[in-house]
Amino acid sequence: MKVLVVGGGGREHALVWKIAQSPKVDKIYCAPGNAGIAQMAECVNIKADDTDTLLEFASKENIGLTVVGPEVSLMDGIVDKFNEAGLRVFGPNKNAAQLEGSKALAKHFMAKYSIPTATYAAFPNGEEAMEHVREKNGPLVVKASGLAAGKGVIVCDYMADALDAVRRVIVDKEFGDAGNKVVIEERLQGEEVSILAFTDGKTVVPMVPSQDHKRIFDNDKGPNTGGMGAYAPAPVYTSELHQTVVKEVLEPTIKGMAENGWHYKGVLYAGIMVTEAGPKVLEYNVRFGDPETQPVLSLLETDLVEIMEAVIDERLDQIDIKWKDAASVCVVMSAAGYPGNYTKGDIITGLDNLPQDVVAFHAGTNLNNGEVVTSGGRVLGITAVAKDIPAAIEKAYQGVEKVNFKDAHYRKDIGAKAIQN
């Protein structure tokens, strides 16, 4: 069959890489793709949010399966449009995608279905939000309610920080329309873990647990980014914790979505804080995470296309999903200045010198006169597979040392928490 992958980042490169391993697939297209994806798929110059043109392309090329990467496309209703045209597409529909598109809606949903999460309040204007901050007078988390590319969450130690965060989100509109509403939460203490799960709206099958590293600098310092690295599996996620998350988070979420008339099919991502009081949901995403997808799919043994088709056909309970008895670590190399202003067009060298079992997933790259150059803030995700986390960390950083571009930045502590655990 022909497969179309929508998107052009590190997550989409990992999806193309895994889909290419399926004997069911004859040809892969990616829109818009990047320099790394171009090595194993035909890149099509269509933006990921241009859903009407994507539909025209998929219809014309008789695409057998479309896999949607970015949340923006899902929020725009790409799945609904493809379904109406009789095309097979992997991902939740527009109504279900609201679970990520509005943090305020997600918090109301969790409250309604007794899904454990931080206490919160949501406000449509800065004055009420600031008054709430003054009343709380302590550590808080301030979030832009809408989509903000993983950057609209501000963790605040003091009241003054939270007041400034509210101003940035809802007054200064630092995150654009995502800040039309602000969510203010209690600040939870603990360790984070990312739980991605396949679901066909009835059955929920969790993937291996992973841990993202959101802050730009080592030891979780500096501003939030789209993710500076990830590893899997995450030791903090014990078998006991797994049972709790499945019963108190994943299954109630899918059941609640169905009760609301939002039949959820695709990948459900629950960002979990492991607190002393048990697991609590920080946020939902309605698609594969980035960069978690890179290490998670590196450990998947089962044919990803088979899983996706089972999800679409609502027969996920008939698939035996298997994982490697190994570990994977992804270290993101970013352009200097990210997540603020950064340069583009710098030549990348060393990609042909990576050690065995190390893959450079391209996140923000282009081809310029035959040379691979930087084109985004997060440039590459150097991803290694090894017998355990320490070995995978060592191998991933060996890969990082082989790759060069001007003023490349990366964290030196990806996976350190796993070793502590």
Residue with tokens 């583009």: 344
- Supply the pLDDT for residue 322: 98
E strands, 296-387, where?
A: 327-334, 358-362, 365-368, 371-374, 378-386
Cα–Cα distance, 120 to 33 (Å, whole number): 38
Cα–Cα distance, 235 to 344 (Å, whole number): 37
Domain ranges in the chain are: 2-93, 125-180, 191-318, 327-420
Name 363's Cβ contacts closer than 8 Å, sequence gap at least 6.
Answer: 9, 10, 13, 34, 290, 291, 332, 376, 378, 379, 380, 381
Q: Quote the pTM value.
A: 0.93
Instruction: Give the three-state DSSP class for 318.
Output: helix
Among 356, 337, 365, 373, which residue's Cα sits nearest to residue 32?
365
- Supply the pLDDT for residue 185: 93
Architecture of domain 191-318: 2-Layer Sandwich (3.30)
- Supply the pLDDT for residue 126: 86
Q: What is the 3-state secondary structure (H, E, C) of 121-161?
A: EEECCHHHHHHHHHHHCCCEEEEECCCCCCCCEEEECCHHH
Cα–Cα distance, 140 to 157 (Å, whole number): 7
Name 127's Cβ contacts closer than 8 Å, sequence gap at least 6.
Answer: none
Handedness of CA 45, 48, 49, 55 (dihedral sign): positive
- Supply the pLDDT for residue 420: 84
The CATH fold assigned to 125-180 is: Dna Ligase; domain 1 (3.30.1490)
**Pair of tokens at residue 111:** 């409250």
Name 369's Cβ contacts closer than 8 Å, sequence gap at least 6.
Answer: none
141 forms bridges with which residues in the sheet?
A: 155, 185
- Supply the pLDDT for residue 272: 97
DSSP 8-state secondary structure symbol assigned to residue 247: I
Kindly list the averaged pLDDT for each block of 10 residues, start to end, along the chain of length 421. Answer: 98 98 98 98 97 98 98 96 98 95 92 95 90 92 84 89 93 88 92 97 98 95 93 96 98 95 95 96 96 98 98 97 98 96 96 96 96 97 98 98 98 95 74
- CATH class assigned to 327-420: alpha beta
User: DSSP string covering 32-82, please?
Assistant: E--TTGGGTSEE----TT-HHHHHHHHHHTT-SEEEE--HHHHHTTHHHHH
**Pair of tokens at residue 305:** 């296309």
Dihedrals phi, psi of 72, to nearest 5 degrees: -60, -40
The CATH fold assigned to 2-93 is: Rossmann fold (3.40.50)
Residue 59 backbone zone (phi > 0: left; psi -120 to 50: alpha; other: beta):
alpha
Cα–Cα distance, 194 to 192 (Å, whole number): 7
Q: Is 84 exposed, middle or buried (0-12, 13-18, 19+ CB in 10 A)?
A: exposed
- 390-to-327, 397, 414 alpha-carbon distances in Å: 9, 11, 10
* Sheet with 153-156: strands ordered across: 120-123, 182-186, 140-144, 153-156
- Supply the pLDDT for residue 178: 83
